[in-house]
Amino acid sequence: MEWHDNGIILNLRKYGEFDAIIDVFTREHGRHSGIVKGGMGRRQRGNIQPGNEVDVTWRGRLETHLGTYSVELKNARAVSFLYSPGKLAALNSCSSLLTVAMAENEPHALLLDGFIAFMDALEAAKDDITNWGPLLTQWELGLLGELGFGLNLECCAATGITDDLIYVSPKSGRAVSRDAGKPYHDKMLPLPAFLLKKRDNIPAQDVLDGFHLTEFFMERHMLAPFGKKIPQARRMLLDHIP
């Protein structure tokens, strides 16, 4: 059988002496693996780097077989991040999360569009993590929502008010106001202000709080029930917070 699609390469690994196996997040076929013949050679290796947007043709006897890919490069995004270690770490983190969180062959077109939009924004952002860190947190919240584990940060879980929201309940994933959460403040997760309204000059601590917030719920809902853990690439992002 054979199909054509477009998407983003999530990872690659060597297969044999000259070939490569790539995972591609495709629009109509979800996350799908395949062999690229000669993929580790000079002609093709640059085309199949994680983050690159590609058109692909997959061929195999059955949909469940590994099969082979023919790859046509559309956008060499990986090159854009080569000289920005922080942005490259963000790209690797997103690719790793999508690889471990998504089931194979399960389409998520909205999630793919969100990933492309995030990479557009990441490309345009300044190198400092306080500029792109909030974008990454919002993308991770979108990932949680698309996979069925969205948080509710619009109003206080206890009182229903929409002002002075500074906590998130680790049990319900809902926002909690300052007064309602005060008796349990040591058990609550901080809610970064940038998730409630657009802000400039975001402090590094808020970025760190955002990373901890999404990591907590991704691990609890997306990964732990399936015996998986947060990828090392995601944890390494903390190295880029001053």
Q: What is the pLDDT of residues 87-96, one digit of tens each?
A: 999 999 999 9
The pLDDT tens digits of the residues spanning 154-163 come to 999 999 999 9
Task: For the chain, list the domains and their CATH numbers.
Answer: 2-77 (2.40.50.140), 81-153+191-240 (1.20.1440.120)
Q: What pLDDT, on the 0 to 100 scale, is given for residue 156?
A: 96
Compute the mean pLDDT over every residue in the chain, rounded to the nearest whole number: 93
pLDDT band at residue 198 using 50, 70 and 90 as cut-offs:
confident
User: Global pTM?
Assistant: 0.91
pLDDT band at 32; cut points 50, 70, 90 = very high
The closest of 95, 96, 83 to 119, measured between CA atoms, is 95
pLDDT over 80 (residue 63) = no
Residue 168 pLDDT more than 80?
Answer: yes
C-alpha 229: how far from its chain's center?
Answer: 14
Confidence of residue 200 (pLDDT cuts 50, 70, 90): confident
- The per-residue pLDDT for 155 is 96
Given a cut of 80, is residue 134 above it in pLDDT? yes
Nearest to 151 by CA among 160, 143, 141: 141
Query: What pLDDT is attached to residue 187?
Result: 95
Confidence of residue 142 (pLDDT cuts 50, 70, 90): very high
Closest to 102 measured CA to CA, from 228, 233, 236, 3: 228
CA–CA gap between residue 126 and residue 119 (Å, rounded):
13
